[in-house]
Amino acid sequence: MHRLQFHYTLSRDSSPALVRNPLIDLLQAVSSHGSISAGARALGLSYRHVWGELKRWENELGNELVVWEKGQSARLTDFGNKLMWAERQAQARLAPQIEALRAELERSYALAFDDSVHVVTLYASHDEAISALREYASHQEPGRLHLDIRFTGSVDAIRALNEGRCVMAGFHTLLDTGKKTLTERTYKPLLQPGQHKIIGFAQRTQGLMVAKGNPLNLHSLQDLAERHARFANRTLGSGTRVVLDELLAQAGLPAGEVAGYEHTEPSHAAVAQAVASGQCDAGLGIAAAAQQAGLDFVPLADERYHLVCLKSALTQPGIQSLLKLLQTPAWQAAMAHIPGYAATQSGEVLSMRRVLPWWEFARKKSEFKLLT
């Protein structure tokens, strides 16, 4: 069976919406004008080009398309006529869907030609507030800001930013992350003061998602180990995996003592579903995911969800529009309704040194003299 591929073109004309195929156009021209040369002239093509294309298609499809005899008009073979018939049938049946598809594409491209519309590509660790922000931005009048969001692990999100695949990244760290920690070893190599800028977004709570009523009475990571609870972890490169390992280190608890540490899921929602379905007894995640899955939530730690971009991107109109939206009381009030979230310096450009205190800078001589 031959496979189909669809292509479309951009133009200024208002011709009817059709899924066009160049072979059908060639056959239609030859059939209507009775010769390859006349059909080629009608299409504005050379005889040689049309002849070559017909032969190429015959080889591709394994059937003759056009026959002609000396002194007679060229005509389509039975196979060629069946192709024309199949095209007419498909176009007639699918005309409404084709028109709807074109209309949707035209709406999308209209944004590209509108200088007042800004699209911000954001790679981010999975987050309920980021999803809500995309929806919130899309409904703001006059809809000038569009967020193109790809959810991925925190580490992969920052790498995407550094590789130019996005203009902003989202990641999260424990609220009181200090020096010489796993968090520092994970993120410090990816971020450069002076090159990157941290933007405040939210504070949220991570905790254990457990079955309704918390039947195993789980209130800590230590409880997980002692009760041999089946755990659902997150994949390597995810911010929540880093948070878990940091909390295990703080508790002096080896990862091997957590049953199911190697069982990974791709998102908070997937972990919640694993618990809700009985595959696991607990998993680390956010309160919103637990609530949506009908689970109980045991808070363990607070963290900050950061946005980061290159310093050179701060002046881009899309980034400026996003910062203004994040600072509006309406958005911050909307975020406050998400379980476990609070707006913290939302939309503010922050000192990386203060938010992530992993760097030490030598003081200037003038500053040292003042201090002495």
Structural domains of the chain, ranges and CATH numbers in brackets: 22-112 (1.10.10.10), 118-355 (3.40.190.290)
Task: Please indicate whether residue 354 or residue 225 has the higher confidence score (pLDDT).
Answer: 225
Residue entry with tokens 């580490």: 155
Alpha carbon 31 to its chain's center: 48
| Nearest to 352, CA basis, from 160, 200, 246 | 200
Per the CB < 8 A criterion, the answer to whether 65 and 22 are in contact is no
Please tell me the predicted confidence (pLDDT) of residue 116.
80
Is pTM, for the whole model, over 0.95?
A: no
pLDDT at 329 over 70: yes
Confidence of residue 143 (pLDDT cuts 50, 70, 90): low
Residue 307: which of 354, 348, 246, 335 has the closest Cα? 348
Burial string for 167-179 (b: 16+ CB within 10 Å, else e) reads: bbbbbbbbeebee
pLDDT at 178 (0 to 100): 81
Task: Judge contact between 272 and 208, C-beta under 8 A.
Answer: no
DSSP label at residue 63: S
pLDDT at 135 over 60: yes
**For residue 361, what pLDDT band results from cuts at 50, 70 and 90?**
low
Q: What is the pLDDT of residues 244-256, one digit of tens each?
A: 999 999 999 999 9
Is 212 strand, coil or helix?
coil
**What is the average pLDDT value for the chain, to the nearest integer?**
89
pLDDT reading at 349 higher than 50: yes
> Is 171:125 a contact under the CB 8 Å cutoff?
yes
97 pLDDT tier (thresholds 50, 70, 90): confident
Which DSSP symbol is given to 235? P
- Using only C-alpha atoms, the chain has a radius of gyration, in whole angstroms, of 30
Q: How many CB atoms lie within 10 A of CB 202?
A: 28
- DSSP symbols for 123-169: EE---HHHHHHHHHHHTSTT--EEEEEEE--HHHHHHHHHTTS-SEE
Contact 331, 147 (CB under 8 A): no
User: Rounded mean pLDDT of 292-313?
Assistant: 97
**% of the chain beyond a pLDDT of 70:** 93
Residue 370 pLDDT > 50, yes or no?
A: no
Task: Write down the pLDDT at residue 16.
Answer: 61
| Alpha carbon 7 to its chain's center | 23
- Reply yes or no on whether the pLDDT at 105 is more than 90: no
